Amino acid sequence: MSSNKVHPIPDCPARDPCISTVESDFRKSERYDTSTISTFSDDEELPPLARKKGISAKMTFVNYLKGMVGAGCLSLPLVFKEAGLWAGLVLIIFCGFLNNYCMLQLVHCSQYLSRKKGDTCLDYGSVASEACSNSFNWIRPHKNLARIMVNSAIAVFQLGICIIYYIFVAVHIQEIVEQYWSPGLSKYTYMLIILIPFILINFSRNLKIITVISLVGNVIMMVSLAFIYQYLIQQPHQLDSLPWIGNFDGIMMAAGSIMYTFEGQAIVLPLENNLKHPEKMIGSFGVLSLGTATIALVYASCGFLGYVTYGKNVKGSITLNLPEQP
């Protein structure tokens, strides 16, 4: 009868204390610094944005056009006067391309950070905060400061733009009223009259209702531009006598005015956040690209026709050059 012998298990060799220390430090670094390993290569692994509710791409396009095209369009003939005929045309195309590129990058970053956070949408302040949270270690504690700075900058930016539009509407309503009737009211009285309608319109937070208002505004704007274009085309042009390129100071002033006309960047993320299919906001034929191309075409035609019609006599707004009587 054979006996079963129990063989003792050999002792494991002692671990090198240096190796143990390195492994311990590596585990600690994994525990606290895994968020630093963040690249755009994992974008494909993130879940796509999915929204159950939202507006269509066509509604977004209508709102985008209304938000971008405004009073600055009528001052573009003066921009051509400062920059020169062909230099002004090139500046509008370049600024339109630059704005479109920056807005596309903004939407790309917003969608990437939204998928990474697991949220469906981010506003401007949240994008700044999340960007800091996924950045270098020394930037992360300042994410709340970044949110405050971005939101404050947008508030001041929008305040200045809305003031210009508010005065523009009041002055033109005054001119229309006094064309048929002379009540003797001042410009400030008209500002008080339109204050209540402006407040009521801004109370609306439903983009479907805002789309209807924007559509009406776009129709009125296009009809007005059509009348202006019709008059400008019928007038004699002075194409050969106009300078092609202005001086450096004039080009710089023109560039600033053109950048002002492309002032709708603050509406990009709110529109994208309410779009049912966010992927339609970007791309070569997305809302941003098609909308910016359309806007650049309107701007270039308005500035070009106004300048070749009135030349050096062009005023701050093309409406000031138009005759008072039809």
End-to-end CA distance of the chain: 126
- Which residues lie below 8 Å from residue 72, measured CB to CB, with a gap of 6+? 257, 260, 261, 263
**pTM above threshold 0.85:** no
Is 55 contained in some domain? no
Is 210 contained in some domain? yes
pLDDT (0 to 100) of residue 300: 93
Burial annotation 31-66 (CB, 10 A radius, 16+ → b, else e)? eeeeeeeeeeeeeeeeeebeeeebbebebbbbbbbb
Burial class, 209, CB count within 10 angstroms (exposed 0-12 / middle 13-18 / buried 19+): exposed
What is the span of the domain harbouring residue 272? 69-316
Is 293 contained in some domain? yes
Cβ count within 10 A of residue 228 = 19
Q: What is the mean pLDDT of the chain?
A: 81
Our count of domains for the chain comes to 1
pLDDT (0 to 100) of residue 47: 59
In tens, the pLDDT along 27-42 reads 433 333 334 334 444 4
Is 262 contained in some domain? yes
Cα separation, 40 vs 58, in Å, equals 30
pLDDT (0 to 100) of residue 318: 85
In tens, the pLDDT along 140-151 reads 899 999 999 999
In tens, the pLDDT along 62-90 reads 889 888 887 788 889 999 999 988 999 99
In tens, the pLDDT along 171-187 reads 888 888 888 887 778 88
pLDDT (0 to 100) of residue 179: 80
Is 56 contained in some domain? no
Is 261 contained in some domain? yes
